[in-house]
Amino acid sequence: MRKHIVAGNWKMNNGLIQTETLISELKQQEKTSDAEVMIAPSFTNLWHAFEATRQYDIEVVAQNMHFSEKGACTGEVSAGMLKSLGIKTVILGHSERRAYYNETDQSLAKKVDAALANNMRIIFCFGEELSDRKAGRQEDVVEHQIKAALFHLNASAFEHIVLAYEPVWAIGTGETASPEQAQDMHAFIRKTLENTYGKNVSESVSILYGGSVKPANAKEIFSKPDVDGGLIGGASLNAEDFFAIVNAF
């Protein structure tokens, strides 16, 4: 069902000690909103983070995974390995992985299938580059990314999928999509879902916005009707800032 979600993507930040410190600071924050809270530490800190948040309303999720279950894939981590730690959700398709680690629509479709086969929830990321937006083709790009990786699924699979629209030009740049730009794209994404899967699916999938969300702009972005939450990079590395965003709902 459609829910408010605020997820912190820590990216390649925080060693073990910093992870311990940030989690203990997160535990001291007061949550006043109904948003589900997630954090995505690096693989090496997942187990510690999972253990440290056991009694708390914070879900620990992974930033990526391989589509194979096991085998000769040096440096990779499978869905089964994540599940063996108790991890139930994985971020897939982040623009940094698409841009720097060769993730394609085809490999993402395989990762989606592998995650679902392991009963995992997916936060599926996509978004256009600046050149796409300048050329006015942002909707075509987003539609293609979603359809290529997800539209082979049946409707019930969408119970396990959260979408995250992250325009590449707004990631880590301090430049946020305006609340209206975010709303327009989220409405377009929902319409795209509705056209193939019907309103039951389109109205029940949570669509997050990501890209320079900060305490100062979160409330306005989250006030838009089709924005169900945020995927937060930089601001998720500070406990007070992150919870200010969580509490912006």
Enumerate residues 161-180 that contact ligand 13P by CB under 6 A: 166, 171-172
Q: How far is the CB of 3 from ligand 13P (least distance, A)?
A: 18
Asked if 5 and 246 touch (Cβ cutoff 8 Å), the reply is no
Integer Cα distance of 39 and 29 in angstroms: 14
Computed from CA positions of residues 97, 242, 160, 187, in that sequence, does the dihedral angle turn out positive or negative? negative
Q: How far is CA 61 from CA 38, 83, 87, 115, in A?
A: 7, 10, 6, 12
Quote the strand ranges of 28-160, DSSP E: 36-40, 58-60, 89-92, 121-126
> What number of chain residues touch ligand 13P (CB under 6 A)?
14
Q: Annotated catalytic residue: which of 59, 103, 166, 186? A: 166
Nearer to ligand 13P, 23 or 231 (CB): 231
Nearer to ligand 13P, 90 or 232 (CB): 232
Give the contact letters, 60-99, x = binds to ligand 13P (CB under 6 A), - = no. Answer: ----------------------------------x-----
Sheet holding 36-40, edge to edge: 58-60, 36-40, 5-9, 229-232, 207-210, 161-165, 121-126, 89-92
Enumerate residues 185-214 that contact ligand 13P by CB under 6 A: 210-213
Q: Is 127 one of the binding residues for ligand 13P (CB under 6 A)?
A: no
Q: Is 9 one of the binding residues for ligand 13P (CB under 6 A)?
A: yes
Give the binding site for ligand 13P (CB under 6 A). 9, 94, 166, 171-172, 210-213, 231-235
List active site positions: 94, 166
